[in-house]
Structure 1
């Protein structure tokens, strides 16, 4: 019975808006969980990262490094766009799960073709990639009713992925350097799309505030990809050490390699990662951070990890040899690139660079003139010492950073 002075209509509870089929519920409290479907999807990209590192190890030329870097951009773009989709769409939906399973199959075909993507397997690589990008975006658009904001985003994505897909497939039809004349513009078109707001004729640009992502889930997904890359580095070093015979020298090299990988994990998964996750979960425009700090900003971090994996593999295989060229660039440039990328990510999320990390990055590059004069073992010991100093400084830096953060609050 309504109270005096009130009405039955006024006291009637307001019904919650019905959930949209296939989408994750929003505003239900708590962060969206990472599902087993997403973790299963990631398994293909463990294989893809391994393929990229082996490409360089098997052919230590700068041309091969350039090819691997180009293909890394493509692999990352395939993974990160699927991550965006899984942030909006509910993997418990049978249709969404089916789309992700097909995306995984296309990713596997693409990853298998990576070593020969610029040679005899161009059609398999380009065809799988275009099928993944266009198919996923089209399926996502068709799963939602007309007029829905997320459908509008995916209708834009379909146009951009089809436009780049034409160039990818045309490039697969030609050989040699002519292929890159079409594939490089295709990749640049895809990389420019988020900055251009997925402009669409008659509708203009989309703003990052239109994306409505769940920031905590997105940050966790990208952190898991870092774990994938670091884990692949451990697999490579362990397998190489086992094949090399586990002599005392090899065991020492293995310990140095693990110390470097552990230091990279320590630097990334510190207070900054926690603050970044909290910012993503609570800020008004998580889509902007997801685009800037994660979609773009994580590329040098992942590239640095893969380059470091190449360096530690060469260390274990040839500890007594002096390194030159690509090998020297991997041992010194891999950690340097990683630290520069981590500092850029930190700056975008917190407004402050990792100055000690940048100092260590510069010190690593300063070792280049002497790098070719000492053995790989001695050089790697120097790299490990610098990274250890950075890790030792991290608790001090975190204490100061948290103190400043508390005063700001």
Structure 2
């Protein structure tokens, strides 16, 4: 995957010895993503709170349909800033355009399935189709050129599904967009296969030789946790201060802190080191990306559950509410199990037990107040964090042993 000795590619491609950490422009994109995820949570909670049981369940599907394109756009932007030097004007303009696209998409979220479909689709397609076309001429002799050519072809093909969704409304739009984002991500997983073209030795998930992209994934987790705190704080501000709402606030904040603790102990803490030492960075990068996407979706689901509990802490929970309150932690722990496999090549039994306890508690919690479900979820997370601390007590920090 070598570079030619000269040409514009030498000006744009990142020099890893000079630039390792995310720059301020990338952090600006992160701020927009916080706003975007907050918009998703608000949209989902609105439907979760409705009196229609079908709409309540449908809102959980909406969470995936709206969250995945936003996360995927963030990931592809992080991939660009990982491979290309963000100090170069062209890359800076691309990053700024990506942030603006996220902002426009986010502004359409409250009306995503009843109007403003074009405001969601047009920025998404423009960024995914145009950015590779802008970068392809700078990549003579680099494997990324082949990857971007293939991704552009798939963008045109998949774009028809996005456009078809934009010209419809309601369930038809949601179904078409769900199909479209699935096609986008699955095609990327397969490195955008094109008949007659050999697959390039890099992918949309590929980790380079530096720490930049693993650190960006860590920041993605912090973005999701920050959105959770934002959602909880704004919701509590508009609620009467009672013993129940105060308890819900404490439980939500404690749960967020525990998610942070469970993630960073210890796989999240040494993720960059593990990826750098991995034998197959392509597979390790793909597994790392998928694990973080699952965890972020779980955190967004938990944020929706926190808002429901804050607004109706003593009410009997609807099944869809329990799916958010308990299913969010389940998804997070599942993603964390996948990350453990990447970093230490092992199965985390503590997290498996936590998933089992959360699943088993769903039936009895259906007859308890909504706050009780939130307390049980927090207790499970606390148990896992304490078990992690007990396991680490008196032992030296564990070095990564990548599974790939």
Fold shared, TM-score > 0.5 on shorter chain: yes
| Alpha-carbon shift at residue 116 of structure 1 (Å) | 2.2
Quick check: 2:84–2:91 contact (8 Å CA) kept in 1?
yes
The verdict on how the C-alpha distance between 1:23 and 1:336 changes in structure 2, with shifts beyond 3 A counting, is same
Quick check: 1:32–1:214 contact (8 Å CA) kept in 2?
no
Matched, 1:272 2:272: no
Give, in whole Å, the separation in 1 of the partners of 2:191 and 2:203. 11
Point out the more displaced range, 216-225 or 67-76: 67-76
SS of 2:367 mapped into structure 1: coil
| Alpha-carbon shift at residue 208 of structure 1 (Å) | 3.8
Structure 1 residues 58-97: aligned runs within 5 Å: 58-60=46-48, 61-97=56-92
* 1:23 alignment counterpart: 13
Give, in whole Å, the separation in 2 of the partners of 1:67 and 1:406. 37
Give, in whole Å, the separation in 1 of the partners of 2:165 and 2:369. 42
| Alpha-carbon shift at residue 88 of structure 1 (Å) | 0.6
- Encode CA deviations 1:63-90: one digit per residue, 9 max, x unaligned: 1111121221111111111111110111
TM-score, normalised by the number of residues in structure 2: 0.89
* 1:302 alignment counterpart: 296
Give, in whole Å, the separation in 1 of the partners of 2:76 and 2:224. 18
Quick check: 2:301–2:328 contact (8 Å CA) kept in 1?
yes
| Alpha-carbon shift at residue 180 of structure 1 (Å) | 4.6
Among candidates 160, 166, 177, match of residue 172 of structure 1: 166
Give, in whole Å, the separation in 2 of the partners of 1:159 and 1:68. 28
| Alpha-carbon shift at residue 281 of structure 1 (Å) | 2.2
* 1:252 alignment counterpart: 247
The verdict on how the C-alpha distance between 1:164 and 1:254 changes in structure 2, with shifts beyond 3 A counting, is same
| Alpha-carbon shift at residue 379 of structure 1 (Å) | 2.9
SS of 1:21 mapped into structure 2: helix
TM-score, normalised by the number of residues in structure 1: 0.88
The verdict on how the C-alpha distance between 1:114 and 1:137 changes in structure 2, with shifts beyond 3 A counting, is farther
Quick check: 1:197–1:207 contact (8 Å CA) kept in 2?
no
- Encode CA deviations 1:189-213: one digit per residue, 9 max, x unaligned: 2122233222234322123489562
* 1:56 alignment counterpart: 44
Give, in whole Å, the separation in 2 of the partners of 1:122 and 1:268. 35
* 2:52 alignment counterpart: none
Matched, 1:373 2:367: yes
Give, in whole Å, the separation in 1 of the partners of 2:140 and 2:238. 57
Give, in whole Å, the separation in 1 of the partners of 2:170 and 2:303. 28
Structure showing greater relative contact order (alpha-carbon pairs closer than 8 Å, 6 or more residues apart): 2
Structure 1 residues 318-357: aligned runs within 5 Å: 318-357=312-351
Structure 1 residues 17-166: aligned runs within 5 Å: 20-26=10-16, 28=17, 32-60=20-48, 61-142=56-137, 144-166=138-160
Matched, 1:281 2:276: yes
* 1:233 alignment counterpart: 228
Give, in whole Å, the separation in 2 of the partners of 1:407 and 1:290. 15
Quick check: 1:215–1:286 contact (8 Å CA) kept in 2?
no
Give, in whole Å, the separation in 1 of the partners of 2:309 and 2:58. 21
* 2:389 alignment counterpart: 395
Structure 2 residue runs of 5 or longer lacking an equivalent are 49-55
The verdict on how the C-alpha distance between 1:205 and 1:118 changes in structure 2, with shifts beyond 3 A counting, is same
Quick check: 1:209–1:288 contact (8 Å CA) kept in 2?
no
| Alpha-carbon shift at residue 145 of structure 1 (Å) | 4.2
Structure 1 residue runs of 5 or longer lacking an equivalent are 1-15
- Encode CA deviations 1:388-409: one digit per residue, 9 max, x unaligned: 111111123346996875999x
